Amino acid sequence: MKQSNKKNTRRKFIKQNLLTGAGTMLGMHSVSSLLGNESPKGINIQAAQEGSSLSGQQKPQWVKWPVWDVATDEPPVVEVLRSGVWSRAKVVEQFEAAWAKTIGTKGCVTTVNGTNAMICALAGLEVGGGDEVIIPPYTFIATPQAVLQTGAMPVFVDTDPETFQIDVNKIEEKITPRTRAILPVHIAGIPCDIEGIMKIARKHNLVVVEDACQAWLSEVSHKKVGTFGNAGCFSFQNSKNIPMGEGGAIVSDDEQLIDRCYSYHNYGIAHGSMVAKHGAGLSMFGTKLRLTEYQAAIGLVQLKRLEAQTTIRAENAAYLKSRLESIPGIIPYKLYDHVTRVSFHLFPFRYKKEAFRGLTRAAFLKALSAEGVPCSSGYVTLNTQPFIANAFQSKNFKKMYSPKQLDYNKYMERNRCPQNDILCNEEAVWFTQNILLGSRSDMDYIVAAIEKIHKNAEAIKRSQES
Ligand SMILES: *Cc1c(COP(=O)(O)O)cnc(C)c1O
């Protein structure tokens, strides 16, 4: 019944538009012109749209990332390049000291990237073959890959769709005798319920490594994320809020752990307190994950911007959230009660197509992009991707686990995350951090663009169906 109704209205619509000669404008690519300033001939959308707030308004020029100021940023970096000392030395040490101070921990070891910061921290805590590590599915691919790389098995706990973070109430049911660690992620830079997670970890004697790779300066109860667990890991990759191209860091108050991580990241050569424990020299198992001097130099110049930029992002995000909340079908992230600061690597919200006349998320994203607002549907369902089966089929996994433990169908069943499936496959939409560095009127532009799509949802939907 619904079907035939839909067909009828659609036929009527097509007929109407053929009569006015606008039929050919109804393809996907015409969405931008449908919503643009020039009114497409024959479709009286503009008229239906009172106060078309975008007409005459320039599309915002979003901040280009990374920010690079030749005058202030190049001299210190060029100095390092000209020194000829490019391998780890005093500039890396300077950055580590600055990062530990910024986050508020006793120690910091930098690494080649955030992925390897997590591998190094997990190795430092002796998480490995046979262990299970609890992680959220709503994260970047690096999180589960870091777990697999240590030989441990990722165990997924479903997402709280309101916050986009791991659902703390579902963690305990996933704990088994093999569980060794929780690797919570502060995704988007929005803190997860790390206080709740630490309670569970203490109760079950688990170690915690925080994936704070998107959460530089985020806080819970005025304490920086990355400082709650045994270790916190950060990324300084090009797109991140403090970019070096590639780079990562582990922070901790556990000085032995920092020394173990340092040793591991430097070919296993015993460092600091590890000398007394294992003997000096080539006494430990390790690899090489060292940052370079010029990366650290870039990091030091970028670090100068982080505080002020973080404040701007948070102000814009709060404003944008308050405005978007009033649009039916747009549900921005929620913050947990104790969150005191958010880094906003991403601005996430849920899109409910029911409130947009059934306009699909893909169509919404296309229309919003056409309005000049870059946006994305975000992460895929990591718990269902083939890389896990591929790891299970590896020689190492077959030696570390029993065939029963590697039963992939059972694993899939145990790791189902239905809330996360909805988020990834249907509802999530993001803006990236550079968008939040715009002006107040840029935020208003985003709101106007979404309001416009909301008002014209039916027409956009039909135009994309034909
Ligand atoms: C970027 C990122 C990482 C990994 O960082 P790289 O530096 O790219 O290796 C890990 N986890 C999350 C959530 C990230 O966003």
pLDDT per residue of the chain (466 residues) written in tens, 0 to 9:
334 444 444 444 333 333 332 322 222 223 333 333 333 332 333 333 333 446 557 889 999 999 999 999 999 999 999 999 999 999 999 999 999 999 999 999 999 999 999 999 999 999 999 999 999 999 999 999 999 999 999 999 999 999 999 999 999 999 999 999 999 999 999 999 999 999 999 999 999 999 999 999 999 999 999 999 999 999 999 999 999 999 999 999 999 999 999 999 999 999 999 999 999 999 999 999 999 999 999 999 999 999 999 999 999 999 999 999 999 999 999 999 999 999 999 999 999 999 999 999 999 999 999 999 999 999 999 999 999 999 999 999 999 999 999 999 999 999 999 999 999 999 999 999 999 999 999 999 999 999 999 999 999 999 877 6
pLDDT of residue 56: 59
Q: Among 214, 234, 250, 265, say which to mutate for ligand 1: greatest number of ligand atoms within 8 Å of CB.
A: 214
225 with 212: CB under 8 angstroms? Answer: yes
Copy the structure tokens of residue 466: 């034909």
d(Cα 267, Cα 390) in Å, to the nearest integer?
Answer: 28
Pick the closest to residue 416 from 142, 158, 136, 165 (CA basis). 158
pLDDT (0 to 100) of residue 465: 74
In 328-440, which ranges are E strands?
330-332, 339-341, 346-351, 428-432
Distance from C-alpha of 182 to C-alpha of 203, rounded to nearest angstrom: 12
Minimum CA distance residue for ligand 1 atom 14:
213
For a ligand 1 pocket test, name from 112, 115, 238 the mutation site with the most ligand atoms within 8 angstroms of its C-beta: 115
Integer Cα distance of 334 and 331 in angstroms = 9
Q: Tell me the backbone φ, ψ of residue 165, rounded to 5 degrees.
A: -100, 170
d(CA 408, CA 50): 55
Give dist(CA 196, CA 335) in Å, integer.
14
- pLDDT score, position 54: 63
For 373-434, list the strands marked E by DSSP.
428-432
Residue labelled with tokens 């777990």: 147
259 and 268 Cβ atoms separated by less than 8 Å: no
pLDDT attached to residue 333: 98
Distance CA(128)–CA(153), nearest Å, equals: 8
248 in ligand 1 pocket by Cβ < 6 Å?
yes
Task: Spell out the CATH class of 71-299.
Answer: alpha beta
Ligand 1 centroid to residue 47 C-alpha, Å: 46
What local confidence, expressed as pLDDT, does residue 10 receive?
A: 41
Residue 219, strand partner residues: 224, 341
> Which amino acid makes up residue 116?
N
User: Measured on CA atoms in the order 172, 175, 180, 181, is the torsion positive or negative?
Assistant: negative
- Contact (Cβ atoms closer than 8 angstroms) between residue 374 and residue 432: yes
